[in-house]
Amino acid sequence: MELQHGEARVAVGFERGDECVDLFFRRLGAEADTQHARGGLFVKAHRAVDVAQLPAMTELYEKRLALRKARGAMDIESDEAKLVMDEEGRCVDIVKRTRGVSECMIEEFMLLANQCAAHFARVKQIPFVYRVHEEPNGEKLERLHALLQACGINDHFAKDVPTPKELSAILEGVRGTSFEEIINTGMLRCMSKACYEEKPKGHYGLVLKDYAHFTSPIRRYPDLAIHRIMTDLLSGTDKETMAIRYTDFAAQAAKQSSEREVIAVQIERKAEDCYKAEYARRHLGECYEGIISGVTQRGLFVELENGVEGFVPASSLTATGTTLTEGIRLSDPVSGKNWNLGDSMMITIVRADVNLGKVDFEVAPENKQ
């Protein structure tokens, strides 16, 4: 794949993916005129993609998806909730957000663009802000081993740290079974947190040597930072000047962006929890079916179909006490009753604190021991 910018030419190659990109641009036939400015890199297409070009885009998408699966990139299901507000900003409904084929197609193209940008920077050896995802650490892997063993799933890997392909095989093996929710949740929790760094360390989950966040400079600062860097290089700035101008900048941008991202995610989750509690408060006393999403000695976390999660204290499960097994099961030693991560259960919404974003459930009356 080649990107033209004035006198500059950027050659980017990807394993067997070259023919996919060539096929797309050959059939698309769209010419691109690039403009550069200090604030970022803008690409203006002369012709819009019409319906006749969708088959080529679909073929490219399918080829890229096949390559990603062949690498062993993990496909962990993670449902998102869509909050529905009334005119006064109150949450009146919560529905699961679903992705269509077109969104998946765009996502795949964005992954490729991000990969191209990171590959370009590494080959050119310029200061950059990379998206890094490292392999899971020992403590998290111990929890994953315990989860797999408790579910009766083979937890033997070729090396101490499993490859993404080995983890993908486990996910595929439990798809459609009663263990799917449990393993998906456990796999997510064992992953390291992705962050931004000035050194290219690769992306464990995507199984990529080169990766960055490039496609969203309007809403994400790391993307804007590397647009500035690439624009400067493509404008003719020499390598030595690039190093002087952007080495510290890239390091500071990576550090600050990683720190801000953690805070932003925490705020987003807290705000969403408050809205969900506001919704739950309108439905106090009502019964719903949910899935056990977390197990602790104190009780269970149960998630409803629409994403509202609440806590069921162990005291409401049984009067005889419970024992905890590996964080995936609560058991009543007297009756032999078990509550497993991923099991379904009927609950009643009993309390909702909007300010704290907390919701409390109890076992529905007809389901109590």
**Which pLDDT tens digit goes with each residue over 169-222?**
999 888 888 778 778 888 888 899 999 999 999 999 999 999 999 999 999 999
3-state helix, strand, coil in the chain (%, to 5): 45, 25, 35
CATH of the structural domain 284-367, one choice from 2.40.40.20, 1.10.540.10, 1.10.510.10, 2.40.50.140: 2.40.50.140
Q: Which two tokens stand for residue 307?
A: 């994403």
| Most trustworthy range by pLDDT among 103-112, 117-126, 139-148 | 117-126
Q: How far is CA 225 from CA 23, 198, 217, 250, 314, in A?
A: 31, 11, 8, 8, 49
For residue 252, give the DSSP letter: H
Quote the CA–CA distance of 310 and 346 in Å, as a whole number.
12
Tally the residues of the chain.
369
- pLDDT digit string (tens) for 38-51? 344 444 444 445 67
Contact between 144 and 136 (Cβ < 8 Å): yes
What is residue 229's three-state secondary structure?
helix
3-state secondary structure of 338: strand
Token couple for 304: 């409803």
Instruction: Tell me how far apart the alpha carbons of residues 158 and 136 are, in angstroms, rounded to a whole number.
Output: 15
Can you give the pLDDT at residue 114? 97
Measured CA to CA in angstroms, residue 236 lies from 239, 247, 282, 299 at distances of 9, 17, 61, 62
How much of the chain exceeds pLDDT 70, in percent? 84
Residues 6+ apart with CB under 8 A from 105: 57, 58, 61
CA 311/CA 266 separation, integer angstroms: 20
| Residue 356, token pair as written in the block | 């704290």
pTM of the model: 0.79
Dig out the tokens for 212 from the structure: 């960055």
pLDDT tens per residue across span 255-288: 999 999 999 999 999 999 999 999 999 999 999 9
Residue 18's alpha-carbon distances to 11, 15, 21, 23, in angstroms, are: 11, 7, 5, 9
222 in Cβ contact with 215 (< 8 Å): no
* Least reliable range by pLDDT among 10-14, 64-68, 115-119: 10-14
Q: H-helix or E-strand containing 263? A: helix 239-281
Q: What residue spans in the chain does CATH classification 2.40.50.140 cover?
A: 284-367
**Per DSSP, what are the bridge partners of residue 353?**
358
